[in-house]
Structure 1
Amino acid sequence: MAAGTEAMENAAWIDCDKIDELLHQRIKVLVSLDGSDQSSCAFEWVLHGFTQSDRETDLLIVHYYDNTKEYLPPKWRRNAIQSDAEAKCTSALVSKRYNISIRERTPGVKIGSLLCQDIKEHAASFCVMGFVGRKGKDKHIIGSNVLEVMRQGKCSCVVFKENDPAKLPLNRPAKFVVSTGLNPAATKAFVDALRLSRPGDHIHVVYVRPYLEPHSKESKVTQAIRHKYDAIFEGMKDASAWPSGKMVKFADRVVKLVFAPQGINEGIAQALVRYANNFEADFVMVGTNVLRVDRGKPPLGSVSLQIVMEFPGNCVVSSFNPDTDMAVKNAS
């Protein structure tokens, strides 16, 4: 491989030992319930989806109530949410694998801030929540609590737009689309897709090839991405092709690298969403560097944010922290 291509690939890489650690550590999932259809649908997926195939998963179900809101409909009230959560957890999991926390909301403190506190206290791997919360119905307007978790939560966030449990991938393979590029956050998104998936699920790693890049002559970026994922996929099939041999644990996933063409007058996000829609993806994964916020930037880059806003299905914003989620190899 050309030196320039190898340098770009190394800059996007997460050390193999760290990938192994992420893939094999116990998953801790925080589920935020508010009574909305989206959060209820998310809860169904967590209970009857990947947790049923991965017993190394712990759940923390949280609900923050406000006793002053007596006008709320019955299904949004504390007792109804607590009873429903207890009944569903009891029927699906052994008691040591879940905990239900029902707490009164602190006056003046946003729900998003309370979620971030719980994420930190319990070292959650994922926070699962509805996209718009209880106040909105527009799937193109992201809820303020979701934004707060993305900004300060520092864990991967699964945001649900689906509100019909019948459409969940519970009795069929789930379809994941991972938006990729030459950055370690995109690699973390692929790792999260493996962690959330079950045997038989489909994971398409998608790079949008620039409109002006000819198919007959791949750019160095395209070559680096192809080489990078060819190596990962080979490690999933052949234990000897991965340093520890542990990647073969995920050989029962159906993985594919896709170079999706960018249409004329089409942005990268639009091309990615078009592919995900045609594939009928259940989840789209995007990566973000948590240190963006510390540098005064929004929690998501413009392309990732546009993907999350425009894709009509569920999204996973994979949180990558260079201080804890790596060592990334230095580009030579």
Structure 2
Amino acid sequence: MASGTAAMENAAWIDCEKIDQLLHQHIRVLVSVDGSDQSSCAFEWVLHGFTQSDRETDLLIVHYYDDTKEYLPPKWRRNAIQADAEAKCTSYLVSKRYAISVRQRSPGVKIGVLLCQDIKDQGTSFCVMGFAGRKGKDRHIIGSNVLEVMQRGKCSCVVFKEADPSKLPLKRPAKFVVSTGLNPAATKAFIDALRLSRPGDHIHVVYIRPYLEPHSKESRVTQAIRHKYDSIFEGMQDAAAWPSGKMVKFKDRIVKLVFAPQGINEGIAQALVRYANNFEADFVMVGTNVLRVEKGKPPLGSVSLQIVMEFPGNCVVSSFNPDTDAAVTAK
């Protein structure tokens, strides 16, 4: 039993040295602004929260405009968006920490494709976007540019559904829910939660226990997940419990491993969303393997996609690349 659990755990693990590199590497954030309420709210969160807590973060604000769209309302036009971005950045950041790129959209090329090129050129860590874009009046219909970035951007994508800046976790601790399982992409989602969080923030790592799994007898999967995160959490509190001792940098985060029950006639995604709603989470984190698309699969698995679509709050799709994020091979 023990050896089987260890093998399952290794299959879902990212090498400790690589975790240290991911947690301490320079963060580059790209924010796509288009004048919509959701993208504006995303910009506010990055500017007033994330970049203020991590003074080493570099910020690139990107806007692509189309001069043929003369019908756009004033706040969606190039000059208004650029002026707003410049005013806010100069008020809160020194000039060396940000750049504003306002460029004309290439005819016939989707903005999502242009953003993917920006992500590649800048070595972006996180791309922050509004969920629906300008055309998406329905909060349950994801924007095409967001899908393009998820599919080909090869960086973690922070997708904002919140449109009211007053509800942002700027003057209170943020709440993160990480959907976990025995796969390295889920581990990457937890790493991203640590990177996006501030001291005092709450991070709940949630595994949905199958409805038929008895509480009196944990499955090997449940045991492996428990052991995996117990080791990480111990390393966050005690430098001697982590090979490099660097995890203690995040000891001021409030972390918790939760085994949430799956209800009868309830899917895994529904159970996760139910937990996140009850917890009043600000962000739900899901992981995805970037090589899915190259194998002809959708950018997100069915459960992760359902979580992103059904959770009413903001979501983070954490990008895991086996070629660069160095998962340990199961023995």
State the TM-score, normalized to the length of structure 2.
0.99
How far has the Cα of 1:51 moved from its partner? 1.0
- 5+ long unaligned stretches in structure 2: none
Distance 2:72 2:127 in 1: 25
Structure 2 match to 1:183: 183
Compute the RMSD of aligned alpha carbons.
Answer: 0.5
Query: Within 2, Cα distance between the matches of 1:136 and 1:226?
Result: 40
Percent identity for Structure 1 against Structure 2: 88
TM-score, normalised on structure 1? 0.99
* TM-aligned CA deviation for residue 221 of structure 1: 0.1
Q: Measure the CA separation in 1 of the matches of 2:42 and 2:140.
A: 18
Give the structure 1 partner of residue 310 of structure 2: 310
Code of the residue aligned with 1:14 in structure 2: it is I
Q: Offset at 1:321? A: 0.2
Deviation for aligned residue 1:295 = 0.1
**Separation in 2 of the partners of 1:280 and 1:139?**
18
* Aligned match of 2:49: 49
Q: Which residue of 1 aligns with 2:201?
A: 201
Q: Does 1:146 align with 2:157?
A: no
**Structure 1 counterpart of 2:265, one-letter code:** N
3-state SS in 2 of match to 1:216: coil
CA distance in 1, matches of 2:175, 2:138: 24
CA deviation profile, 1:168-201 (whole Å, cap 9, x unmatched) = 0000000000000000000000000000000000
Task: Give the deviation of 1:137 after TM superposition.
Answer: 1.3
Question: What amino acid maps onto 1:128 in structure 2?
Answer: V
Deviation at 1:325, TM superposition (A): 1.1
For residues 296-325 of structure 1, give each alpha carbon's deviation from its aligned partner in whole angstroms, at most 9, with x where no partner exists: 000000000000000000000000000011
Partner of residue 62, structure 1:
62
In the TM superposition, 1:247-326 aligns within 5 A as 247-326=247-326
Q: 1:45-84: CA deviations, max 9, x gaps?
A: 0001121011110000000000000000000000000000
Matches within 5 A, 1:97-136: 97-136=97-136
The 3-state SS of whatever aligns with 2:70 is coil
Cα deviation 1:120-147 (Å, max 9, x = unaligned): 0000000000000000111111110000
1:8 offset after TM fit, Å? 0.4
Q: Does 1:330 align with 2:321?
A: no
Q: 1:53 & 1:77 partners in 2: Cα distance?
A: 31
Q: Which runs of 4+ in 1 moved over 6 A?
A: none
CA–CA separation in structure 2 for the residues paired with 1:46 and 1:34: 15
Aligned length in residues? 331
* Separation of aligned partners in 2, 1:200 and 1:50: 13
Structure 1 Cα separation of the partners of residues 16 and 25 of structure 2: 14
